[in-house]
Amino acid sequence: MNTNISGPLISLIVPVYNVKDYLKTCLQSILEQTYKNLEIILVDDGSDDGSSGICDEYARMDQRIKTIHLPHSGVSAARNAGLAAATGELLGFVDSDDWIDADMYERMFAAAELDKSELVICDCLKESDRGSQLYTHALPSGTYGCDRIRSVYYPQLLMPDTMEYPVTISNWLLLIRHTVITENHLSFPIGMRFSEDLLFGAEVGYHARSMTYLKGFTPYHYRQNPESVTHTEYKDKWPLLRELWCRIAESFRKKTDYDFTPQIQRCMLFFVYMAMNQRLSANLSAKEFFHEVSEVLDDPLVHESLGKIQVSQLDISWKLKIITLIYKKKYLRPAVMMLKR
């Protein structure tokens, strides 16, 4: 294995917020990388549980580690601070409650060099008390030039036909040429606390002129942490999802070389589905549930976007998801009308 530092510098950005129980495992896995020419940027987002001290401790141990301390501003601001500080030719992200296998960046860098790719994507394992679960995508494995990106990748860049997140939402599965970020002035959307990496990852995928997907390579271990922001109270989700959709629509409606309109509409359908499903798990009474769901379905943006979707043309997985959701609660009548179009 390559254990020298002759390759180009890779900057790894690690946002940190109140993860003292997991942080050392994460940092140790980064320090054990067989690819050694790393710039490790720890961005402490105002932690108050001792994580800040762990960051400083590791920075004293290894000169490759830089620590940035911020007042609590959210993960997007933390990642943007890391982007501003990064000097590497390539960039990667690691969440501070996760861990990575020792050969992750050696393998991904090798693919980037072999294929001259601006973007390299891998798969991961979701880790929980129930064990490990493979997280992969329908995108075919291999190398993509401009033509293949447009014909194969663009059609699922924002939202695939199947009801699942797009490939680049998991920014920690990406190795990105720094120039893709700087030349296109990309950054994370400030103020987003849920799925904030969807828009950033989509922009990276849109602007990359070449990419490699290492399907089946799973060096990243995503810890399904019940204390993370993705598992917080359901009431916060719809306003955040709505804002995320507005930002996606604003950005990708401006793209003139490809029509992303159907995917923008599917994003709204997916976000509505998520909002309703979260309410189902909240143990609300029938009256409370109907009120909460009506608040989402009566939103003018939802009406406008979903009104343009031809349900008969949706992939079967979308239809099954929606029908299952509806019949879990028989009083979800407004959604039934959408299916009757």
Q: Say what angle helices 261-280 and 237-252 make with each other, to 10 degrees.
A: 180
Task: Please give the backbone phi and psi of residue 143, each rounded to the nearest 5 degrees, phi first.
Answer: -100, 140
**Does pLDDT of 2 surpass 50?**
no
- Beta-carbon count within 10 A of 182 CB: 11
What's residue 246's pLDDT? 93
d(CA 256, CA 144): 21
- Render pLDDT for 5-63 as a digit per residue (tens, 0 to 9): 579 999 999 999 999 999 999 999 999 999 999 999 999 999 999 999 999 999 999 99
Q: Structure tokens of 275?
A: 């909002």
Domains and their CATH numbers in the chain: 10-230 (3.90.550.10), 233-339 (no CATH)
What distance in Å separates the CA atoms of residue 246 and residue 196, rounded to the nearest whole number? 12
The DSSP secondary structure of 99-164, one letter per residue, reads EE-TTHHHHHHHHHHHHT-SEEEE-EEEEETTEEEEE--SSPSEEE-HHHIIIIIGGGSSS-SSSS
**Averaged pLDDT for residues 293-313:** 76
User: From CA 296, how far away is CA 216, in angstroms rounded?
Assistant: 37
If you search the block for the tokens 């943006």, which residue do you land on?
301
* Tokens encoding 254: 């401006």
| pLDDT for the residue numbered 254 | 95
Kindly tell me if the per-residue pLDDT of 235 is higher than 80. Answer: no
Query: Could you tell me if residue 74 is left (phi over 0), alpha (psi between -120 and 50 degrees) or otherwise beta?
Result: left
- pLDDT of 323: 58
pLDDT band at 279; cut points 50, 70, 90: confident
Amino acid of residue 115: D
Least confident stretch, 129-133, 193-197, 247-251:
193-197
- Confidence at residue 173, expressed as pLDDT on a 0 to 100 scale: 96
Question: Which of 99-103, 236-240, 269-273 has the lowest average pLDDT?
Answer: 236-240
Cα separation, 288 vs 290, whole angstroms: 6
* Segment 67-84, tens digit of pLDDT: 999 999 999 999 999 999
Got the DSSP string for 186-215? --PPTT--SSHHHHHHHHHHHH-S-EEEET
Q: How far apart are CA 284 and CA 78, in angstroms?
A: 35
- How many Cα atoms sit within 13 Å of 326 on the Cβ side? 15
Sorting pLDDT into bands at 50, 70 and 90, what band is 236?
low
Q: Does residue 119 or residue 269 have the better pLDDT?
A: 119
Read off the pLDDT band of 341 (50, 70, 90).
very low
Q: Please give the single-letter amino acid code of residue 283.
A: N
